[in-house]
Amino acid sequence: MRGSATDPNAADGPRRSRRTAVAVASTALLLPLIGAAPSDGADSAAQPSSATRLQSAFASAAADYHVPRSVLLGVSYLQSRWDEHNGAASAGGGYGPMHLTDARTAIAEAPHHGEGTEDARGDDSRPALLPEVKVPENAQLPARLKTLPRAAKLTGLPAERLRSDPAANVAGGAALLAAAQKELGRPLSDDPAAWYGAVARFSGADDRATAAAYADDVYDVIGDGERRTTDAGQRVTLAAEPDLAPDTAQLRGAGLRAASPSGTECPASVGCEWVPAPYEEFGDGDYGNHDLGDRPDSSSIDYIVIHDTEGSWETTLKLVQDPTYVSWNYTLRSTDGHIAQHVKNKDVAWHAGNWFVNSKSIGLEHEGFLTSPDAWYTEAMYRSSARLVKYLSRKYGIPLDRQHILGHDNVQAPTASGIPGMHTDPGPYWDWQHYFTLLGRPFHRTAGPGGGLVTVAPDYASNQPLYTGCTAAGEPCPAHGSSEVRLHTQPDESAPLIKDIGLRPGGGDSTIDVNDVGSRVSTGQRYAVAERAGDWTAIWYLGQKAWFENPRKHPTAVDAAGLVVTPRDGLTEVPVYGRAYPEKEAYPAGVPVQSVSPLPYKLLAGQRYAAGDRMPGEYFYAPTFDTSVHRVVTGKDMYYEIQFGHRVAYVRAADVRLVPSTS
């Protein structure tokens, strides 16, 4: 992570960071599997073609366990999009296309990286604290994290085989679905509409709203149909059934508790609960772990910041309820997309490492690990998160683009000294293109070659730049799809990487470490074109001309047009800021003036940068538990947000001209 607010181990780190059915297998469930999963020594000549083996596994498991094939395919799609992830565990401890969970093996051994050293509050009016946190014992983990051992009992197959063999994994999922259907007292019908309750139970959710949201998503997938080639090169197809109407009334008898969304700010289409972060005093002058506010009346909400937790769901919820830790607004669970809200959106959570951004943003933590590329996020969580973001976007007027929907790694440090310690989650393995497709805003070409801007948009699966440092410094990370593209000083793959003088004040070289964002751009970000040379495109980046490979047949960025900023006439360089604070004359008596200190970067004459919002300088003064002294200070000086490097930054409007990118 260098990423998340929830790492408890980083020195000087930030202050943040079912009911189960009886697992009794009937003979009818056990015997069919012996023919369903290929044996270790199976004759390859008798197996399906290599590219359709997984499709055949779904057909065999569906027939052997009497589960409708479309239901099995739909559930698997929502779990993994049919990907195998080479046998690696997901962020929720799940394995294989069916995301069968085994927390003992996966979560307890998952790496925890927390190299970020900034105070997540991002304001020096109060010192940062860090509590001591213990990982929960395996016995404390819920049943939703132990579905693989149960599938092993139902099928008679070793757990290791269910983890590593996709066909066995699919059969294990089919066995679980069939068991859930029987436990609900329903026949193993060949009608997909009759399996709604079993699908809801399969989610592992213990509340009705989350289970319903999960089942609805599965049936949406079945209704729309899907077709894709998986990460293992498997071609899988689910034919559309647009007229399918599931029996949603089954949910009432599924043994799930009623939802308790009281006090939450969530769309009705997700499962959401209120797990409040504490606002309370402790010690001398200390309080936690957020600030009370009156947004959007006192201050607009302009950003949504995407984080990963770098810890399990259970650990993350414990941290956010600790008054000595920090906070964020929502946490999303990987296994089923369930959401917990912790801080009201009118209040200011401490999550981004930049007080200006905190005061104008909402933070979403996603259960996951930055440096574990195969600790994948489930489709259920991506979809739940997208629904929440669309809801927040409509409610607060937040545009759905990458200058408003930020990764934590896109948040700039407030001052120069904080740049090296800023976090880097959710990192290069978060699938921004898929996420924005779910938001209804996929990235695509919006202009011709003369548009003056490009939108970064590599093909996630085939874009696999080499990273190091996932397990140890300098050690290569596993090959994996990525949302990010690397930048060079010349149109040549062997040319040095772009340097970030803020990240390395001594002038050190950028690296390919997974946490080094000094020479990378991310899917959806827009940059002004500086030059083109054959299959290479140069953009303006951190005050430099930065090149990336962008072949016409397989582009990593597409043409766009919009507004850009450039230094106004007569200026050779313009200061760049990490926060948009008011001029000193704007501060009333009793509120200390905050320095408007520039970062070490410069916006030079002749350079252009994609422009975001135009906004007045603003500072939320909130140093005490007593809210009577809190003030929102708004200045007359105006700023533009710009896409300056991997992170966004700010320039004074008086220093620049705003012009069309085509001019």
pLDDT digits (tens, 9 = 90+) for 612-647: 999 999 999 999 999 999 999 999 999 999 999 999
Identify the domain containing residue 574 by its residue range.
Answer: 566-660
Among 187, 219, 253, identify where a domain stops. 253
- 587 and 540 housed in the same domain: no
Is the predicted pLDDT of residue 39 greater than 50, yes or no?
A: no
Is the predicted pLDDT of residue 62 greater than 60, yes or no?
A: yes
Query: What is the rounded average pLDDT of the residues 182-210?
Result: 96
- Within a domain: 575: yes
Q: Give the total number of structural domains in the chain.
A: 3
- 52 and 194 housed in the same domain: yes
Is the predicted pLDDT of residue 27 greater than 70, yes or no?
A: no
- Within a domain: 348: no
- Within a domain: 412: no
Q: Which two tokens stand for residue 587?
A: 């501060």
Q: Which two tokens stand for residue 421?
A: 């310690």
Nearest one of 256, 281, 273 to 330, comparing CA atoms = 273
Specify the pLDDT at position 287. Answer: 93
- 502 and 646 housed in the same domain: no
Query: What is the rounded average pLDDT of the residues 353-366?
Result: 97
- Within a domain: 194: yes
Residues 594 and 583: their CA atoms lie apart, in Å, by 8
- 607 and 531 housed in the same domain: no
Specify the pLDDT at position 98. Answer: 97
- 42 and 110 housed in the same domain: yes
Strand pairing class (405-407; 303-308): parallel
Query: What is the rounded average pLDDT of the residues 392-409?
Result: 98
- 93 and 194 housed in the same domain: yes
- 464 and 610 housed in the same domain: no
The mean pLDDT value of the chain amounts to: 89
Could you tell me the sign of the dihedral formed by the alpha carbons of 265, 268, 269, 271, in that order? positive
Among 190, 225, 253, identify where a domain stops. 253
- Within a domain: 316: no
Nearest one of 397, 454, 457 to 432, comparing CA atoms = 457
- 571 and 528 housed in the same domain: no
Nearest one of 279, 327, 289, 325 to 307, comparing CA atoms = 327
- Within a domain: 637: yes
Is the predicted pLDDT of residue 32 greater than 60, yes or no?
A: no
Among 253, 276, 297, identify where a domain stops. 253
- 154 and 249 housed in the same domain: yes
Distances from the Cα of 77 to the Cα of 98, 431, 643, 656, angstroms: 8, 16, 35, 48
Interhelix angle 53-65/166-183, rounded to 10 degrees, is 30
- 497 and 628 housed in the same domain: no
Q: Which two tokens stand for residue 316?
A: 């993350």
- Within a domain: 239: yes
Distances from the Cα of 203 to the Cα of 79, 89, 144, 258, 401, angstroms: 9, 17, 8, 16, 31
- 462 and 589 housed in the same domain: no
- 167 and 101 housed in the same domain: yes
- Within a domain: 401: no
